[in-house]
Structure formats: structure tokens, C-alpha cells
Amino acid sequence: MSTVAYAVDMSASGSARVTYKNGDSSEVTGNPYGMNSSIAFTGSGDVNGYETSLTIVSNDLSTGMSSAALTVDLGDMGSITFDQGTGAGGISTIDDKTPSAYEEVWDGLDTLAGDENGLVGGGNSGVFVYNTTVAGSSLSIQYGKGGSAANADNGSTEGISGSSYDFAVTNSSLVDGLEVGLGYGKIANAGAGTNGSDEDAHYTAYASYSMNGVTVAYQESVVEDNTDGGADEQAKGWGIAANVMDGLSISYGEREIEFMNASAAHVTEDQEGFAIAYTMGAATIALQNNEATNNNGAAGTNDENTEIALSLAF
């Protein structure tokens, strides 16, 4: 009996974040303190002539796998990944490209089930991703059956039929400091009903420019809800972020989402957020305040979130 040994490079990284959160005056906060922890294990090596890597991530207080990805590098032909929630590619990688010193201007604000918050993408679990470079542009294509779900081996998920596909194209070689991108997708939904469609369409495009430590960006997105009575969402957003000194950065951004109600007046949600962060070595302390009016497309409904966070990387 003989055995063959294969050289595999293994690495581990982790992070922890302790937060203080304060919502708007209508929300009751009991204990405002929380913690997020993450450990990522990565192994890579040659498998039949192809560089292959496996990433396993455990987040929060979970004792099992939170997300994982298996990638085969095909050299000049690109790479293929089976993704279980890491966000390896597709349109969701460019759902919001406006800059921020900490989190996005919508982070921590209340959302309703079925409200996409004007963000494109149908999930990153149980999907195949192909990444390559074409004529100086990065191309990322994602494909999945039914709804996004992290199934175990020999498992399946019921509830949504059909297929979902989306892609993102980005380019940062046209002009120094300029990055542009666009994306499109057809996302399977939970049911068509009588007059609806079993696919939603997602579109987005952005432009970002950086110079002397300052980055500005603008983005527009459309999320079509093609189910019976669904409300399409049209989002526009901009942001500016600056490194004001070594380790210190600030940002401000605004975003509006127009809810195109099928049988009622359209309502526009306005979001804005400010963030400041200071990083020294592996430690970052950040403060962010986000606000929204007409939250979730409900006229007169407002929301606010303030967060202070200490993050450590190791």
C-alpha cells in the first residue's frame, strides 16, 4: 500500500469587534453592547495541475461554518468558485460602491421583509462564480438554481424554482484614479402569482474617483420586483471619504430610494450617514450615524442608528 502526500499551504486569520448601538427615540434599547467575532481558515495547493483553495469562515458566536468557498484557478482562463456565502463574485460585489470610513449609509437602519433597500443581488450561497479579465476589465458572473441557500452536501432547498444569474464588470485602467462598473441580473423570486413574473431584474452602474487621499463616487441602481403588486425600487447615491491624517478618515454620503408602488403614490426614502474612523496598527475605533426619512417607503416613518465600534484584527 502506498500513499501520496500533497503540499498544502494553510493560514488562519481572525477579527473581533465590540459595538455600542443607539437607535432612534421610538426604539427601546435594553443592552446596547454587542460583539462580532470571525475566524477564517484558508488552505491552498496544487490539485491535478490546478491551484485550488478552500476558505471556511466562522462568524459571531457560531460553533460551525458560517460561509465557505472552493475555488479552482484556471490560469489565463480565470477561476471558478462554488460559493456558500463569502460573496466571491457577481453583481452583489458592487451593490454599493460609495466610499465610507466605516459602514454604508444604510447600515443598521430598519428594513422590512421583501424590501431590497435599493440594493442589487440575489444572495451568494449555493452558487457558482466565474471570474476573469477581458480587455483590461474584470468580469464576474454568478449562477444559481432557485433561491440563495447554503445547503449541506446531498441537500436541496425548496420554495423558489427557476434559475438566477447576474454579472458585474469593473475597470480601473481607463484614467488614473477612476474606477467604473456596471452590473445586471435576473433573480428568481418566490412566486409569480396571476400576472407577475418569476424573475426580478437588477441593474446598477457607478463611477468612483480617488486623488490625494480623497475618494468620491456616484451610483444608480434599479431593483425590479416583478411579483404581483411588487414595488420597483430606484436608488441613487453619492459619497465622499477622505484621509485627513495618518490613520484618520472621515466620510459623508446620501442616498435616495424611490419606491414605485403599483397602486399607490410613489414614496422616496432619503438616507444620509456620517462616519469617522481611526486606525492604529491592528486596532480601529469608529463612530457612525445613519438616518432615514420615509423609511422602507412608508411616508412619515423615520429611523436613526448611531454606532461606536472597536475592531481588532489578528
- At 114 the pLDDT is 59
Within 13 A of 299's CA, how many CA atoms are on the CB side? 5
Domain ranges of the chain: 9-313
pLDDT band at 227 (very low <50, low <70, confident <90, very high): confident
Distances in whole angstroms, Cα of residue 19 to Cα of each of 58, 111, 175, 250, 302: 19, 20, 39, 19, 23
147 vs 299, higher pLDDT: 299
Query: pLDDT digit string (tens) for 28-82?
Result: 678 999 998 999 999 999 888 899 999 999 887 555 568 999 999 999 999 999 9
pLDDT exceeds 80 at position 243: yes
Of 9-18, 22-31, 238-247, 271-280, the range with the lowest mean pLDDT is: 22-31
Query: pLDDT digit string (tens) for 146-195?
Result: 777 777 666 666 667 778 999 999 999 999 999 999 999 999 886 655 55
Question: How far apart are alpha carbons 181 and 196 in whole angstroms?
Answer: 30
Query: pLDDT digit string (tens) for 301-311?
Result: 899 999 999 99
pLDDT exceeds 60 at position 2: no
Question: How far apart are alpha carbons 54 and 298 in whole angstroms?
Answer: 43
pLDDT band at 4 (very low <50, low <70, confident <90, very high): low
CATH topology of domain 9-313: Porin (2.40.160)
Please choose, from the candidates 110, 121, 174, 176, the residue with its C-alpha nearest in 3D space to the C-alpha of residue 148.
121
pLDDT band at 242 (very low <50, low <70, confident <90, very high): very high
Mean pLDDT across 229-235: 89
Q: What is the DSSP letter of 163?
A: E
pTM of the shown model = 0.89
Mean pLDDT across 122-133: 94
Mean pLDDT across 220-237: 91
pLDDT exceeds 60 at position 89: yes
Mean pLDDT across 252-267: 91
Rounded to a whole number of angstroms, the distance between the first and last alpha carbons of the chain is: 42
- At 183 the pLDDT is 98
Percentage of the chain modeled with pLDDT above 70: 89
Distances in whole angstroms, Cα of residue 126 to Cα of each of 14, 146, 162, 173: 24, 9, 14, 32
Q: What is the mean pLDDT of the chain?
A: 89
